[in-house]
A and B are shown apart, each in its own frame.
Chain A
Amino acid sequence: MSAPFFKFGLFGNEVSLIVAFIIGIGFGFFLERAGFGSARKLAAQFYFRDMAVFKVMFTAIITAMLGLFYFSWLGWVDLSLVYLTPTFIWADLAGGLILGIGFVIGGYCPGTSGVACATGKMDGYVFVLGLFFGIFAFGEAFPWIAGFFNAAPMGQITLPQLLDIPYGVLVFFVVLIALGGFLLAEKIEKYFAQKDAGKAL
C-alpha cells in the first residue's frame, strides 16, 4: 500500500480527522520545542538577531522535499495524488503580504500563535482573536473581492512545471539554496552579535 493513504481508501473522513489531530499535535509540539511559542524569538528574525525561524522552516522544506521525492522514487507515495493548493497569483501575493505584515506586527504566524496559546501566552490569545476576526471579515467581504481572489488561476502548478526543468534538478537547486541560506544566516547572526557586543562595550 502506498501513500497518500486517504486517497487509496485506507481510512475514511472520520479517521482522517484523528490523523490530522495527531499530526497537528506533533507539529505544534516541535514548533514549541524550537522556541517558536515566543514572539521575542520569532521577531528577532526580523532584526537579524536570531535566524532560527528561517533555518527551521528551510530545514523542514528540504527534509519534506527530499523525503517525498525519494519516497515516490521508491514507490511508497504517489506524488501525483498529493493535494496541491491551486495558485491564484494575485490573491497569493496579497495574502503573503498581509501575513508578513501581521507577522511583523504581532510577532506570530498563524501556526505559532496557536502554539503561544497552548502555552498560555496572553499576546498569543490576542493574536488568535485577531486571526478569527480576519477570517470573519474575509468571509463577509468575499463577495466583493471574489473577482480579485479568482484572478489569474494557475491551477495546481509546481515550480518544475512553471520553470519547465526536471524535478530532480529543482530539488538539487532548492537544497543548494537552503544550504547557502544556512551559511549566510550563520554569518549574519555572527555579524550582528559582534555589532551588539561592540555597542554594549
Chain B
Amino acid sequence: MTKLFSNMTTQKKLGFLALVLGFFAIFAGSPYDNSKITINAKDLALMAQKDADNISVQQLADWIIKDNFDFRIIDTRSSKEYAVYHIPMAQNIPLSELLDQNFYPTDKLILYSDNSEKATQGWLLLKAKKFQNVYILKNGLNEWKDKILFPKMPTKPNPDQLTEFNKIKEVSKFFGGTPQTGKTGEQSQPQVKQLPKLKMPAALPEGAPRKRRKEGC
C-alpha cells in the first residue's frame, strides 16, 4: 500500500487525497451551525407594532420585589458595562452570543440595554428564532436609573404625588438607590447619584420586601 502510494505522481497523490477527504466529508456532518434563521416578516412587524412585548421598569421592579420569578433578566450590554452595574438577578449575554444560548422555548426572557435599542435588536433575533416569550425593558437601564434608583420628587408635590413618591422611595431603597427628595436642610449631604453596590439584593431578603411593598399599597 505504502509502496503503491509512493509510486504515484504528485498529481495522483493529490487526487487521492481529495478523494479521501471527500469521502470522509460525507460523515462529517453539516458545516453550517444553526445561526441561520428564517423569519415571518409580517408576523414580526405586527408584533413590533403592538408594543405588547414592552415591560415598564416599575413592573419589573415590582416583580423582583415580590419575588415573582418565572423569568430571566438578560443584560445585552458588554460585560464591562455589566460589571459596573446591572439590574439585580440579571445575567450578562451580549447580543452576539444571544443565539448561542440554549434557552427553553418556554423561558420568559426580559432583555434590557442602556436604552431600548440593543434589547430590541435582541428581541428581534430571539423572536425570529421562535422564542415566544421575549420582552423588552422599556427605555432600558436609563429609565431604571431615572425611575427606580434615583426617582425625583416633584418640586411642589400634591398629596397624591407625595404618596406615589413615598411608595417609589421604598422601591428605590430596596434596590439601593438614592431617591432625589430635593431636601437639603435636614441632611446636609448632597444626594449623589451613586450606583448601588453590585452584590446588594443578590438574594432577596425573605419576607421583608413583600411586607414593605404591602404597606405601600
Residues of A within 8 A of B (CB): 59, 62-63, 66, 68-70, 72-73, 78-81, 166-169, 171-172, 174-176, 178-179, 182
Q: Is B206 an interface residue (CB 8 A)?
A: no
Among B18, B29, B36, the residue within 8 A (CB) of A62 is B18
Q: Give A79 to B30 CA distance when docked, in angstroms.
A: 10
Q: Is B186 an interface residue (CB 8 A)?
A: no
Q: Give A171 to B30 CA distance when docked, in angstroms.
A: 11
Q: What are the nearest 5 A-B pairs in CB distance?
A: A175-B22, A72-B31, A171-B25, A168-B25, A168-B26
| Chain A min CB distance to B195 (Å) | 29
B21: chain A residues at CB < 8 Å are: 66, 70, 175
Residues of B within 8 A of A (CB): 11, 14-15, 18-19, 21-23, 25-33, 35-36
| Chain B min CB distance to A190 (Å) | 15
Could you name 10 residue pairs across A and B whose Cβ atoms are closer than 8 Å? A62-B18, A70-B25, A72-B31, A72-B32, A78-B33, A167-B32, A168-B25, A172-B23, A175-B18, A182-B11
Among B11, B15, B23, B28, the residue within 8 A (CB) of A69 is B28
| Chain B min CB distance to A188 (Å) | 16
Among B15, B30, B35, the residue within 8 A (CB) of A167 is B30
Q: Give A174 to B21 CA distance when docked, in angstroms.
A: 12
A167: chain B residues at CB < 8 Å are: 25, 29-32
Instruction: Using A78-B33, A80-B36 as known contacts, say yes or no to A178 and B28 having CB atoms under 8 A apart.
Output: no
Q: Give A171 to B24 CA distance when docked, in angstroms.
A: 9
Among B19, B27, B30, B35, the residue within 8 A (CB) of A179 is B19
| Chain A min CB distance to B206 (Å) | 45
| Chain B min CB distance to A42 (Å) | 21
Which one of B25, B27, B29, B35 has the highest number of Cβ atoms from chain A below 10 Å of its Cβ?
Answer: B25
CB atoms of A66 and B30 under 8 A apart: no
CB atoms of A174 and B33 under 8 A apart: no
CB atoms of B15 and A179 under 8 A apart: yes
Which one of A70, A81, A172, A178 has the highest number of Cβ atoms from chain B below 10 Å of its Cβ?
Answer: A172
CB atoms of A69 and B25 under 8 A apart: yes
Instruction: Find the B residue at minimum CB distance from A156.
Output: B36
CB atoms of B26 and A79 under 8 A apart: no
Q: Give A62 to B18 CA distance when docked, in angstroms.
A: 8
A72: chain B residues at CB < 8 Å are: 31-32
Q: Give A80 to B33 CA distance when docked, in angstroms.
A: 7
Which one of A59, A81, A166, A168 has the highest number of Cβ atoms from chain B below 10 Å of its Cβ?
Answer: A168
Q: Give A69 to B30 CA distance when docked, in angstroms.
A: 9
B31: chain A residues at CB < 8 Å are: 68-69, 72-73, 79, 167
B25: chain A residues at CB < 8 Å are: 66, 69-70, 167-169, 171-172, 175
Q: Give A172 to B26 CA distance when docked, in angstroms.
A: 7
Instruction: Find the B residue at minimum CB distance from A75.
Output: B33
CB atoms of A168 and B15 under 8 A apart: no
CB atoms of B28 and A168 under 8 A apart: yes
A168: chain B residues at CB < 8 Å are: 25-30
Given contacts A70-B21, A166-B30, 10 further A-B contacts (CB under 8 A): A66-B21, A70-B28, A79-B32, A80-B36, A166-B26, A167-B29, A168-B25, A171-B26, A175-B23, A176-B22
A66: chain B residues at CB < 8 Å are: 18, 21-22, 25
B11: chain A residues at CB < 8 Å are: 182
A80: chain B residues at CB < 8 Å are: 32-33, 35-36
